[in-house]
């Protein structure tokens, strides 16, 4: 799913009715989509689901390395087969710990694998044909709220609409990673 594909779906809805692309410019559609994507990304970054989780192997030099440019928060840090713990400020890092300070990660290991939540990078003209980092099942949610935004209905300070988007994201993603797990019966016949 690319932003341009979403724009085509938005333009064909009865509410917008802009097949000729004369009522709304790509810029206006991009702004509406960015408004919705920002709320969706913030919601997903605060949840425990792994939709937007990124992973990067980082080589450390003298026990330090720069964090990825899109780093928002840590999910997990490991090296080889061991998971590292975050070290407190009062102690030095060792081979079982790491510390993040500013834009750097510190560890005595030669390299670490950082699993993290990336922050939202806005869509611009250069990314209109690039795939969004969300699965295709988000297309209806993004379309619905982008239309509301185009019609003047989304203000990021309006907690009602932000809460509606957040609720819809949670409904869409809740338990999805566990959908193939069979529940054990609580009784026997």
pLDDT tens sequence across 59-85: 999 999 999 998 988 999 999 889 999
Q: Is residue 161 a part of any domain in this protein?
A: yes
Q: Is residue 127 a part of any domain in this protein?
A: no
Dist. CA 150–CA 16, nearest whole Å = 9
Q: Are residues 97 and 71 in the same domain?
A: yes
Please work out, in degrees rounded to the nearest 5, the angle formed at the alpha carbon of residue 155 by the alpha carbons of 74 and 42: 10
Q: What is the pLDDT of residue 175?
A: 63
Q: What is the pLDDT of residue 179?
A: 47
Q: Is residue 187 a part of any domain in this protein?
A: no
When divided into structural domains, the chain yields a total of 2
Q: Are residues 65 and 41 in the same domain?
A: no
Q: What is the pLDDT of residue 110?
A: 92
DSSP 40: H
Q: Is residue 11 a part of any domain in this protein?
A: yes
Q: Which residues of the chain have pLDDT under 50?
A: 179, 181
Q: Are residues 83 and 114 in the same domain?
A: yes
Q: What is the pLDDT of residue 184?
A: 64
Which residues pair with residue 106 across a beta bridge?
64, 99
Q: Is residue 152 a part of any domain in this protein?
A: yes
Q: Are residues 45 and 137 in the same domain?
A: yes
Inter-residue contact 146 to 18 (CB < 8 Å): no
Q: Is residue 184 a part of any domain in this protein?
A: no
Q: In sequence order, which residues have a C-beta less than 8 Å from that of residue 24 and are 6 or more positions away? A: 11, 16, 18, 150
Q: What is the pLDDT of residue 143?
A: 93
For tokens 């440019």, name the residue.
69
Q: Are residues 87 and 36 in the same domain?
A: no
Q: Is residue 168 a part of any domain in this protein?
A: yes
Domain around 33 = 3-49+133-174
Dist. CA 54–CA 68, nearest whole Å = 10
């Amino acid at each position: 799913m690319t932003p341009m594909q979403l724009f085509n779906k938005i333009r064909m809805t009865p509410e917008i009715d802009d097949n000729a692309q004369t009522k709304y410019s790509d810029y206006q559609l991009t702004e509406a989509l960015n408004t919705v994507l920002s709320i969706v990304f913030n919601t997903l970054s605060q949840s425990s689901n792994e939709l937007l989780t990124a992973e990067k192997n980082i080589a450390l030099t003298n026990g330090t390395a720069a964090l990825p440019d899109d780093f928002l928060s840590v999910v997990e840090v490991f090296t080889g087969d061991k998971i590292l713990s975050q070290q407190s400020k009062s102690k030095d890092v060792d081979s079982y710990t790491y510390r993040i300070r500013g834009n750097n990660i510190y560890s005595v290991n030669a390299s670490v694998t950082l699993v993290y939540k990336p922050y939202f990078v806005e869509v611009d003209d250069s990314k209109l044909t690039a795939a969004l980092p969300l699965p295709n099942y988000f297309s209806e949610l993004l379309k619905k709220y982008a239309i509301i935004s185009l019609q003047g209905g989304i203000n990021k300070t309006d907690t009602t609409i932000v809460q509606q988007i957040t609720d819809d994201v949670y409904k869409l993603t809740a338990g999805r990673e566990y959908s193939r797990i069979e529940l054990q019966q609580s009784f026997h016949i």
